[in-house]
Amino acid sequence: MTRILVFVEQSDGAAKRASLEALGAARAVSEEITAVLFGPGAGDVAASLGNAGAERAVVLGGSTESPDTLAKALADVVREQGAVAFLASATSTGRDLAPRVAAHLDVTPLSECTGFEADGAGYAVQRPLLAGKLIARLAPKGPVVVATLRRNMFAPFAGSGNAEVVDGPEVESGRITITGVEAKEGGKLDVSEAPIVVSGGRGLKESHNFSLIEELASAFGTAAVGASRAVVDAGWRPHAEQVGQTGKTVSPQLYVAVGISGAIQHLAGMKTSKVIVAINKDAEAPIFKIADYGVVGDAFEILPVLTEKVRQIRAEG
Ligand SMILES: Cc1cc2nc3c(=O)[nH]c(=O)nc-3n(C[C@H](O)[C@H](O)[C@H](O)COP(=O)(O)OP(=O)(O)OC[C@H]3O[C@@H](n4cnc5c(N)ncnc54)[C@H](O)[C@@H]3O)c2cc1C
């Protein structure tokens, strides 16, 4: 019996952390969880998902990665398993697939959800609206709730035991053929996946001063560099690093905003971060309204000291 089907992304023999969070969100409301996986190595990862809350893992066959046919196969598994919810993480893959799955099931997709809970015989979600000013609770009426879950909002489940592995349908070849995947910059953490994000804004004055942001990020060890739109528009940083309404949404354990004023469009992308630290020379900057810790001062004086301190603390273990 499956109540919730969770799409699990995997590579190099491991499930993505974002997918484990989606499994955790599902497991918090039901024990009848089936994971569904696809791609090279999926069979090796499948059984281990028992540790992450899945009772069963369906491994789709075929080698095409075309989202149109993959979504059709996922919708078929939803029907076969009799699931009443389909969850994916709000990664670029999840955001691509979920609306297609919803279309196959003739229901409305719910994106970037920050809450998932039982609602009678079905499920309800919470999702931010109007750049995070409102949180809507939605309890869809259709037969299946299809939702993507925002990363870093749900804790993975820590269990034990293997999931029962089941062969799923073949994914047929579709309209898109992916001929290869190349990592852009080896080892660089993506801003939406990193547990710590150090972001810089126009207060850094010039693009080369971002070396101060990079040094602090590197001192933390597991941090990614983020940026406000102002500096992306100025060509100082790539769009992939932009945090905000028209950039990426992040929810790291720690978000450090340096020389960023805290415009509503920036806040929309980072206000759900667990701990927010702001460094800004203007004590009235709006970023301080949502910061847990604020340092009023010149970034050029504070960053080298802070970086040194972080290095020292990490070296001391
Ligand atoms: C439709 C729309 C979508 C948008 N989407 C996004 C988005 O996705 N992401 C985003 O970020 N913005 C977005 N924006 C732009 C947003 O409104 C702001 O213009 C932008 O966030 C400002 O960037 P900033 O904070 O770096 O620059 P500023 O607002 O210029 O702030 C610079 C800050 O640096 C401080 N400062 C200056 N010197 C120092 C120093 N030496 N030390 C410390 N602090 C210093 C200043 O006090 C100031 O607070 C969007 C706007 C629109 C209209």
pLDDT digits (tens, 9 = 90+) for 219-228: 999 899 999 9
**Would you say the CB of residue 209 lies under 6 angstroms from ligand 1?**
no
- As a whole number of angstroms, the distance between CA 301 and CA 317 comes to 26
Least confident of 84-93, 187-196, 232-241, 245-254: 187-196
Q: Give the residue-averaged pLDDT of 75-104.
A: 96
- As a whole number of angstroms, the distance between CA 81 and CA 118 comes to 19
Q: Give the residue-averaged pLDDT of 103-123.
A: 96
**Would you say the CB of residue 230 lies under 6 angstroms from ligand 1?**
yes
Structure tokens that stand for 310 in this block: 């972080």
CB 249, CB 192: distance < 8 Å? yes
The CA-atom distances, in angstroms, between 299 and each of 226, 253, 264, 287, 296 are 16, 22, 22, 14, 9
Structure tokens that stand for 124 in this block: 């309800």
pLDDT at 193: 83
The CA-atom distances, in angstroms, between 101 and each of 25, 96, 166, 204, 214 are 19, 9, 20, 43, 39
Structure tokens that stand for 210 in this block: 């971002």
Report which residue type is found at 225.
V
CB 104, CB 75: distance < 8 Å? yes
Q: Compute the distance from residue 292 Cα to the ligand 1 centre, in Å.
A: 19
Q: Tell me the pairing of strands 254-258 and 275-280.
A: parallel
- CA nearest neighbour of 154 among 283, 19, 269, 248: 19
- DSSP at 189: P
- DSSP at 98: H
Is the predicted pLDDT of residue 186 greater than 60, yes or no? Answer: no
Ligand 1, atom 22, residue with closest C-alpha: 230
Confidence of residue 215 (pLDDT cuts 50, 70, 90): very high
Name which residue leads in pLDDT, 185 or 157: 157
Percent of the chain, pLDDT > 90? 82
pLDDT at 63: 76
Is the predicted pLDDT of residue 184 greater than 70, yes or no? Answer: no
Q: Give the residue-averaged pLDDT of 281-293.
A: 98
Outline where DSSP puts E strands in 139-215. Answer: 145-149, 164-170, 196-200
Mutation probe of ligand 1 site: the residue of 204, 229, 277 with most atoms within 8 A of C-beta: 229
pLDDT at 132: 77
Number of CB atoms found within 10 A of residue 58's CB = 27
Ligand 1, atom 50, residue with closest C-alpha: 265
Q: What residues form DSSP beta bridges with 116?
A: 125
Q: Give the residue-averaged pLDDT of 87-99.
A: 95
Confidence of residue 26 (pLDDT cuts 50, 70, 90): very high
Ligand 1, atom 23, residue with closest C-alpha: 230
Confidence of residue 66 (pLDDT cuts 50, 70, 90): confident
Q: What is the mean pLDDT of the chain?
A: 94
Q: What is the CA radius of gyration of the chain?
A: 21
Contacts of residue 106, Cβ cutoff 8 Å, sequence gap at least 6: 142
Least confident of 36-50, 87-101, 152-166, 177-191: 177-191
Q: Give the residue-averaged pLDDT of 278-291.
A: 98
- As a whole number of angstroms, the distance between CA 3 and CA 29 comes to 10
Q: Tell me the pairing of strands 115-119 and 122-129.
A: antiparallel
pLDDT at 293: 98
Is the predicted pLDDT of residue 297 greater than 90, yes or no? Answer: yes
Could you give phi then psi for residue 105, rounded to 5 degrees? -95, 0
| H or E, element range at 80 | helix 67-81
pLDDT at 177: 81
Least confident of 19-28, 119-128, 141-150, 185-194: 185-194
User: Is the pTM higher than 0.85?
Assistant: no
Buried b (16+ CB within 10 A) or exposed e, 279-307: bbeeeebbbbebbeebbeeebeebbeebb
Sheet of strand 56-61: strand arrangement: 109-113, 145-149, 85-89, 4-7, 33-37, 56-61, 164-170
The CA-atom distances, in angstroms, between 30 and each of 1, 50, 112, 157, 311 are 11, 14, 21, 12, 43
